[in-house]
Amino acid sequence: MTRKMPIIITGAGQRLGLASAKALVAKGYQVIITYRKKREDIHVLESLGVVCIPADFSTLSGVDAFIEQIQNQYTALGGIIHNASEWDSEESSTDTALLMEKMWQVHVLAPYRINLAFETLLRAGATQDGQADIIHMTDYVVEKGSDKHIAYASSKAGLANLTLSFAKRFAPHISVNSIAPSLLMFNHDDEPEYRTKALNKSLLRKEPGEQEGVLAVQYILNSRYMTGRTLSLDGGRHLV
């Protein structure tokens, strides 16, 4: 079922967010995205009719400015996909306190404030479409932790827990679920040695590509009987 009400995808200027935006537009959805850097792909999305909003969720003022803009322009929403993310590590940070604050700001506080602020809009969207959805993009590391990305992993675990709490708060008309990817696609500059090592961490030993995440998004949006759950896209990594 294609929603009449618009769906927000945060951090959709590249990779999975970008692919999801294009796929939903192709299926007839109204799409709003946020981005931090205006890459060429943002112009492509705009040409497709996507509303593209610059937003910085690493600060509270940035989150609140985005919330105010949406509330001023829309009366109902069909869903929110929280895809905005940071991937900083302890090794690359000179201030671990700031690192932890940033990870929780982007991955937990921003979705938390946005979900609460848009509750009325989502309920209005559910009245129009029969259902509204929130999707949190978490991570496989929620299950096992990460010695190189400790702050990141902890914040994604916090986001996973928000899925449970908001599923309870927003039921029965707003469904809240998570997608927890492991490796979906490499970066262009990833070394061959790293690629081999990463592929060997899962049973299926493949780079499935962004489409695997897109299909997961579409599955959740089409589902009428799932909330408070996580779709794990890890190629059987938990069994290795």
- Amino acid found at 97: A
Residue 23 has pLDDT above 90, yes or no: yes
Under DSSP, is residue 80 helix (H, G, I), strand (E, B) or coil? strand
What percent of the chain stands above pLDDT 90? 93
Q: What is the pLDDT of residue 101?
A: 97
Contact call for residues 217 and 31 (beta carbons, < 8 A)? no
Identify the band that residue 76 occupies on the pLDDT scale cut at 50, 70 and 90.
very high
**Mean local confidence (pLDDT), 134-154:** 96
Q: What is the pLDDT of residue 150?
A: 97
Instruction: Enumerate the domain spans of the chain.
Output: 7-239
- Amino acid found at 128: Q
Query: Which residues neighbour 148 within 8 Å (Cβ) at sequence distance 6 or greater?
Result: 89, 90, 91
Identify the band that residue 188 occupies on the pLDDT scale cut at 50, 70 and 90.
confident
Residue 2 has pLDDT above 80, yes or no: no
Q: What is the pLDDT of residue 189?
A: 85
**Mean local confidence (pLDDT), 59-82:** 98
Q: What is the pLDDT of residue 92?
A: 87
Residue 122 has pLDDT above 90, yes or no: yes
- Active-site residue set: 152
Residue 187 has pLDDT above 90, yes or no: no
Residue 118 has pLDDT above 90, yes or no: yes
> How far, in Å, CA of 2 to CA of 222, rounded?
8
Long-range contact pairs involving 65-72 (C-beta distance under 8 Å, separation at least 24): 66/34, 66/114, 67/113, 67/114, 67/117, 67/118, 70/8, 70/32, 70/118, 70/121, 71/117, 71/118, 71/121
What percent of the chain stands above pLDDT 70? 100
**Is CATH 3.40.30.10 the classification given to domain 7-239?**
no
Prediction pTM value: 0.96
Exposed / middle / buried, residue 142 (Cβ in 10 Å: 0-12, 13-18, 19+) = buried
